[in-house]
Each structure stands twice: as C-alpha cells, then as structure tokens.
C-alpha cells in the first residue's frame, strides 16, 4: 500500500509515478539522481513494470512514518505485471536497512485513508518475495553509540562491546550485548539482553529488555542503562515504510549468520 500525493486518483502512468514519488518525498529524503518511481509499458491502468527506487533514501521524520490504512469503499486501480521496490540502503538516523521487494501479477485498488487522501492498496499478487537486511556491524555500532551516550553522564568510558544474535524460531531473535566499561582505574561489564519479534507486516517489536552489571562500575552503569532502555520496551519499528495491504506473508524466516536478514514469500502461487 502506497500513499498518493494530491487529492484525486491518477489517470495515466505518468500521473501514477508522480503521485507515488510526491507522497514518498513527504516522509523520505530521496536520492537526487534520477526519478524514484517509474511506470513503464502497457496501457493504463495496465502497467508492464512499476519500479520504486529508494536507494540511499533517508527517513526525514523524527519518528518512522505510520503505515497508511485504507478506510471505506475501494475501487479497481491498476494491474502491474512486474513490481519492484528496492532500497539499498534506506537510512533512519544511524540505522541502515536494505529492502527488496519483487512481485508479479500484482493488482492494486484505489482507496482513501481516514483523512480522505488517496492510496494505492495492494489487493493481490501472483508471486512475491520480500527481503529486509541489516548488517551486524551497523547494529553493533548503534548499540555502542547508545551505550556511550548513557555512560558519558556518569564519566564512564566504553572500552569494548560484543554483540551476539541468536534465532529463536522463524520470527524471533534474541540479542545479548556485553559492554566493557571503565571509570578511572576500575573496570566492569554491563550485559544487555532483549528480544525482537517480527509480524506479518514486517514490524519488529522489541521486548524483554534488561541490563545487569558485573563489578562496581558495571553495577553503577547497569542502573542507568535500564532507565534508558525502558522507553523502548514494547516499541515497534517498521522494517518497511509501506503496508502490504490485503496480502499476507508466508514462510517468514530470520537469518543471523552474517547479517540480520528477514525473508518472506507472498502471493497466490
């Protein structure tokens, strides 16, 4: 499901590309090299290929944008032979996420959100594959930055950080972070643990966040880290900036061998 700029539904391939591009530009800073959206071939409302290029796009909002939801009656929209959405990467603050979605035999409806703004709603697909990936190095860097910000308030220096990620079933992973901290001549360790669960809309929900300290400095730092973790308990982060509409994912899997990679299939065949 994609939001569309303007107030009316597009009546040509060019208008469709402009409407999707305009809506994306409201929440993303798009790469200036070329158009982000192209609709090629076919006779509208049939399109041979719809491609959305989000490479190097950055989320411009302070919070990830909410996914659009259609309300009320919908009407037939467009039919797309080949749909491709690529973001390598999409950036949100210090996070970098690689996203790729490919589908064939795709049907979209036109709908509107609760404010009356037009939407392109994914109604059906013959085949589809989606993949979201984040490198362990990026996750480790993000964890270290968060630890350094928390430790700085107590005059504590972070000397090392080790991150371990473990799959817990096809839709969940556990994170175990060991942070070595030092204040003056005294060292200690803070262990941070948590769990991430992925749902059918590729939303990641963080739970079971906790921190324990080893040694005097570790114990001192762990209390501060716990307070910093509390606002993130139960928080959901979308791995995609758009909704899959009526389509349900299947065969969703999480792989943590080299990167944190989520893959899933969708479609009627």
Express each pLDDT in 129-149 by its tens digit. Answer: 999 998 888 777 767 776 777
| φ, ψ of residue 56 in degrees (nearest 5) | 65, 15
| Rama region for 101: left / alpha / beta (φ>0; ψ in -120 to 50; rest) | beta
What's the predicted TM-score (pTM) here? 0.80
Cα-based angle 175, 173, 179 (whole degrees, multiple of 5): 5
- Give the mean pLDDT of 92-114: 90
Higher-scoring residue by pLDDT: 40, 255: 40
Q: Write down the pLDDT at residue 41.
A: 97
Q: Determine the Cα–Cα distance for residues 160 and 27; give it in Å rounded to an integer.
A: 36
In the chain, what percentage of residues exceed pLDDT 90? 42
Q: Write down the pLDDT at residue 65.
A: 59
Q: Write down the pLDDT at residue 152.
A: 75
Strand pairing report for 95-112 and 71-92: antiparallel
Nearest one of 135, 120, 133 to 83, comparing CA atoms: 120
Q: Determine the Cα–Cα distance for residues 130 and 85; give it in Å rounded to an integer.
A: 9
Q: What share of the chain is helix, strand, coil (3-state, %, to 5)?
A: 20, 50, 30
Express each pLDDT in 162-218 by its tens digit. Answer: 889 898 888 899 999 898 888 777 788 889 899 999 888 788 899 999 989 888 878
């Amino acid at each position: 499901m994609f939001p569309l700029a303007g107030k009316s539904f597009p009546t040509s391939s060019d208008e469709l590309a402009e409407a999707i591009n305009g809506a994306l530009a409201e929440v993303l800073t798009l790469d200036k090299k070329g158009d982000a959206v192209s609709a090629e071939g076919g006779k509208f409302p049939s399109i041979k290929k719809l491609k959305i290029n989000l490479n190097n796009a950055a989320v411009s909002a302070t919070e990830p944008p909410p996914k659009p939801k259609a309300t009320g009656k919908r009407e037939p929209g467009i039919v797309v032979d080949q749909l491709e959405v690529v973001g390598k990467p999409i950036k949100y603050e210090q996070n970098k996420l690689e996203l790729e979605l490919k589908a064939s035999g795709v049907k979209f409806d036109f709908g509107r959100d609760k404010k009356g703004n037009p939407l392109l709603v994914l109604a059906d697909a013959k085949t589809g594959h989606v993949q979201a990936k984040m490198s362990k190095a990026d996750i480790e860097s993000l964890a270290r930055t968060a630890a350094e910000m928390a430790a700085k308030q107590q005059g504590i220096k972070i000397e090392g950080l080790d991150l371990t990620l473990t799959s817990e079933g096809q839709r969940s992973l556990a994170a175990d972070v060991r942070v070595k901290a030092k204040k003056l001549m005294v060292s200690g360790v803070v262990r941070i643990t948590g769990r991430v669960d992925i749902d059918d809309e590729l939303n990641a929900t963080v739970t079971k966040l906790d921190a324990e300290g080893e040694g005097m400095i570790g114990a001192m730092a762990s209390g501060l880290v716990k307070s910093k973790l509390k606002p993130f308990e139960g928080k959901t982060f979308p791995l995609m900036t758009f909704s899959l509409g009526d389509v349900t994912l299947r065969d969703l899997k999480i792989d943590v061998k080299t990167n944190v990679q989520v893959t899933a299939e969708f479609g009627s065949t």
